[in-house]
Amino acid sequence: MADANLVDFVKAALERGESRARIKEVLKKAGWPDDQVESAVNAFAEVDFAVPVPRPRSYGSAREAFLYIVYFSLLGMIAGNVGGLAFAWIDRQFADDLVQNNYYSWATTGMRWSVASLLVGYPIFLFLGWRLAAKKRKDPERRRSRVHAWLTYVTLIFAAGALIGDLVAVVFQYLNGELQTRFMAKAAVVGVISAAILWNYSRDVERHSSRIDFAGRALALLSMLVVGALVAWAFTVVRGPGVARYQIADEQRITGLTETTRLIDCYYTYAGALPENLESMGAWLTERAGRVPVADGCVRELPTDPTSGGAYRYRAIDADTYEICAIFQVGWPDAEGAAREWQAGGYYYAVVGSPGQRELKRRKLQKPAGAGETCFEIDAVSVEPEDAAAREPFVEESPAPVEATPDE
């Protein structure tokens, strides 16, 4: 908004019959900024009248408020999701074994949300920005909108807070002696995003010129390149929707194998041997659970492949070892370390030191890196201590004879 004294000067000059071009020339020679000069001169309509006619001031309509609220809301959403994808890229480039498992879990969920948000929200944000900028160029008085000014400064408050907090965190980590590449890279991402928002919108809210904002367009082009690169990279990690469904099916296969190994361990505990096949094992465990208590997870429907509906392939290798196989559709090509592990059968009892000492352990196996059939060789274990596992052989029982009672 132009200075009040400047507006009064322009009004007086117009009343004396000075041309607009001459007024602009004199004010610029006096050192007034171009945008202030343009705003002051444009405050009066170019109509033929005895005195200068002021233009109506634009304070913002409900429609304009709606557009700006949507525009700045999208700005916050985009900034957050761009930062999220940048953080994921940093986590992948500077891997940390302590957080690796959490990263891959987030990569299959949070990254898809970020990509979806950017694919939908970013084009709408660009379109709204273009429309609002075009209207301001056509009618410079729209830059006086109080709605535009207030929402811009509210956005700048959040951006400034993020930038200041980011700098405080960097200084704290430096004093604490814990500056690392991963942390510094993420701090740089927050700093760049916040600084870009502060620079662009603080400059825009004070700008009154109707000329094209080349600096703002250059920033918009750079942001488009960054967003496009991050989204393209994210697709190489999360891949397409079909692959996502295959990954879900593979996760269900791992769950099914875990439940199956638990059932095999239960049979091994109570029958004293490995089952000949999975079908007879399920029937035997169900029958036994109807007579005496069994450990948790020992009575359930036999898991099947989520796609084919068939049972997993099983064969006994020796008295204590068996093999169980499943056909995976994509595997886990990007997972490493703890993210590649799955726990077969959950908890089991293991001997520690002497036969009298036992504790619960977890049996861990490696998930396959690619598609195809994968077989796991597993040693059967007891799900209960030996003194608590009432083992009984798997024999076909004949019904007990019914004793006849004498008629009274």
State pLDDT tens for residues 121-174. Answer: 999 999 988 888 777 777 666 666 677 777 788 888 888 887 788 778 777 777
Q: The whole model's pTM is what?
A: 0.57
183, 229: one domain: yes
Going by pLDDT thresholds of 50, 70 and 90, the confidence category of residue 257 is: very high
Position 179, amino acid: L
Going by pLDDT thresholds of 50, 70 and 90, the confidence category of residue 348 is: low
* Dist CA 213 CA 207 (whole Å): 9
98, 230: one domain: yes
Contacts of 269 (CB under 8 A, 6+ apart): 295, 382, 383, 384, 389, 391
Could you tell me if residue 104 is inside a domain? yes
Kindly state the average pLDDT of the residues 359-385. Answer: 81
129, 215: one domain: yes
| Coil, strand or helix at 359 | strand
pLDDT at position 103? 46
pLDDT at position 121? 92
* Max intra-chain CA distance, the chain: 137
pLDDT at position 402? 47
* Dist CA 203 CA 233 (whole Å): 32
Kindly state the average pLDDT of the residues 271-293. Answer: 89
Using the predicted structure, report yes or no on whether residue 351 has a pLDDT greater than 60: no
- The crossing angle, in degrees rounded to 10, of helices 110-138 and 100-107 is 60
Contact call for residues 283 and 270 (beta carbons, < 8 A): no
Position 6, amino acid: L
Share of the chain above pLDDT 70, in %: 77
Residue 202 φ then ψ, to 5°: -70, -35
Pick the range with the lowest mean pLDDT from 20-24, 28-32, 179-183, 315-319.
179-183
State pLDDT tens for residues 285-322. Answer: 989 988 888 888 888 889 999 988 888 999 999 998 99
Could you tell me if residue 48 is inside a domain? yes
148, 250: one domain: no
Residue 160's alpha-carbon distances to 129, 147, 170, 198, 322, in angstroms, are 21, 20, 15, 7, 62
User: The tokens of 328 are what?
Assistant: 């995976």
277, 315: one domain: yes
225, 342: one domain: no
pLDDT at position 203? 79
- What total number of domains does the chain contain? 3
68, 212: one domain: yes
* Dist CA 282 CA 293 (whole Å): 15
Contact call for residues 360 and 295 (beta carbons, < 8 A): no
User: The tokens of 38 are what?
Assistant: 């343009």
Kindly state the average pLDDT of the residues 180-209. Answer: 81
Q: Select the more confidently predicted residue: 228 or 211.
A: 228
Using the predicted structure, report yes or no on whether residue 104 has a pLDDT greater than 70: no
pLDDT at position 107? 54
Pick the range with the lowest mean pLDDT from 121-130, 258-267, 393-402.
393-402
Could you tell me if residue 401 is inside a domain? no
Residue 400 φ then ψ, to 5°: -70, 140
Going by pLDDT thresholds of 50, 70 and 90, the confidence category of residue 178 is: low
70, 194: one domain: yes
Using the predicted structure, report yes or no on whether residue 347 has a pLDDT greater than 70: no
Contact call for residues 389 and 269 (beta carbons, < 8 A): yes
* Dist CA 174 CA 227 (whole Å): 30
192, 212: one domain: yes
pLDDT at position 159? 81
Q: Which of 172, 204, 238 is the last residue of a domain?
A: 238
pLDDT at position 120? 93
Structural domain range at position 12: 4-54
184, 250: one domain: no
93, 231: one domain: yes
Q: Which of 238, 254, 271 is the last residue of a domain?
A: 238
217, 81: one domain: yes
| 115 burial type by CB count under 10 A (0-12 exposed, 13-18 middle, 19+ buried) | buried
- Alpha-helix runs per DSSP H in 239-377: 241-271, 278-289
